[in-house]
Amino acid sequence: MELFANKREKGVLDMVDLLVFKQGKVVKIGNLVFSVVFNVLGNICFSRDMVKLDDERGTSEMKGHIWKFMECGTTPILADFFPIFDGIDIQGQKKKAKKCLDNLFKVWEGIIKKRREEQHCNESDVKKHGDFLDLMLANGFSDDQINYMLLEIFPAGTGTLTSTIEWAMAELLRNKEVLNKLYSELKKVINSNPIQESTIFQLPYLNACIKEVLRLHPPIAFLPHYASETCQVMHYTIPKDSLVFVNLWAIGHDPKIWDDPFSFKPERFLNSNLDFKGQDFEFLPFGAGRRMCPGLPFATKQVHLILACLVYHFEWSLPNDGDPLMLDMNEKYAVPLQREKPLLLVPTRK
């Protein structure tokens, strides 16, 4: 993870450069963050950008493929409730899922093919990229294994981060006092130096803001688990092979756990040992145990870095000088948990 810090930082610097060019224009924050994260993952996996940051059409198309795949993978089907229908595609979900898979595999199949062809050259002529694809090929992964490994990386990495940053910017815009306090912390610590990962984790208020966003808007609202054996949970008998959903959204909004749970108050995490590493069951945005999100280290680094740059380098406003307090904060249930309406903002360089 540390070896690719420069790639994550470069991706964010490219975002800042684009936003300088976009000053005074309406920016769809979700699409911008998606393209940044998609390119960072592209450089980690393939040593190349996957989309152009200023290509709104290409970004929207790629984001659409990712979102459709995640929707197909999380939409309940009849067999989930009536196992007798397992193997029968009554709702056509399997057909839709295959189409989604094919669209995503096409994104990188040409890159994999070209890299394999390079391997057939003399060993001394083979260019070593030092990326994740090189590692998989060196370990003898088949194309199918590579495809499904990348399928774990790209949708999960882009979807949850995009959603979290979009919610964070909306909450900060609606809470000016919090935004000003966060900017003051950034200005004091960074002090005109380049924003680096080694710096942002020295920012307790930034960390508290991100935790509060994850509490209010967990990327995964319902965390699914299968019961591998029949067991007892709080006097309930859970039969073997049952699908159990942990309602993370409800936990994060429970008034028995959180004071004023629907308000955005990062201060609740200051001087608190609560963390999202799966040890505190009142706060589990990434899950817990052996099945918790494996992308947590990447996600936390990338979210901190992107949000710090957006707040430190730019002033933000709504189009037509709209009132942030009137901003639509309705949620659309999906994976990840999304805003019902995309967040549109106008940047101005500080």
Q: What is the pLDDT of residues 279-292, one digit of tens each?
A: 788 888 888 777 77
CB 78 within 8 A of CB 91: yes
Q: Which residue has the tokens 């190349």?
A: 48
Neighbours of 302 (CB within 10 A): 24
Give the residue-averaged pLDDT of 284-310. 84
Domain count, the chain: 1
Which of 54-58, 252-256, 307-311, 345-349 shows the lowest mean pLDDT across its residues? 54-58
pLDDT at residue number 76: 65
The string of pLDDT tens digits covering residues 35-63 is 999 999 999 999 999 988 888 888 888 88
Give the residue-averaged pLDDT of 78-97. 69
Phi and psi at residue 339, in whole multiples of 5°? Answer: -75, 140
Q: Could you give the CA distance from residue 296 to residue 224 in angstroms, rounded to a whole number? A: 17
Comparison of pLDDT for 116 and 277, the residue scoring more? 116
Spell out the residues 6+ positions from residue 254 whose beta carbon is closer than 8 angstroms to its own: 261, 282
Neighbours of 144 (CB within 10 A): 9
Residue 4 has pLDDT above 60, yes or no: yes
Residue of 169, 140, 149 lying closest to 295 (CA atoms): 149
Comparison of pLDDT for 126 and 177, the residue scoring more? 177
pLDDT at residue number 348: 96
**Cis peptide before 336, with omega less than 30 degrees from 0?**
yes
Residue 306 has pLDDT above 60, yes or no: yes
**Cis peptide before 266, with omega less than 30 degrees from 0?**
no
CB 285 within 8 A of CB 295: no
Q: Please report the beta strands in the chain, taking only residues with DSSP state E, as ranges in sequence order.
A: 27-28, 222-226, 231-233, 236-238, 243-247, 314-317, 331-332, 338-339, 344-349
Instruction: Work out the pLDDT band at 234, boundaries 50, 70, 90.
Output: confident
- Cα 339–chain centre separation: 14
Give the chain's mean pLDDT: 87
Give the domain range for residue 130: 2-349
- Cα 348–chain centre separation: 25
Q: Could you give the CA distance from residue 309 to residue 13 in angstroms, rounded to a whole number? A: 8
Q: Report the chain's terminal Cα–Cα distance, integer Å.
A: 31
- Which CATH number fits the domain that encloses residue 221? 1.10.630.10
Q: Report CA-CA distances (Å) from 303 to 14, 144, 161, 198.
A: 15, 30, 6, 14
pLDDT at residue number 271: 87
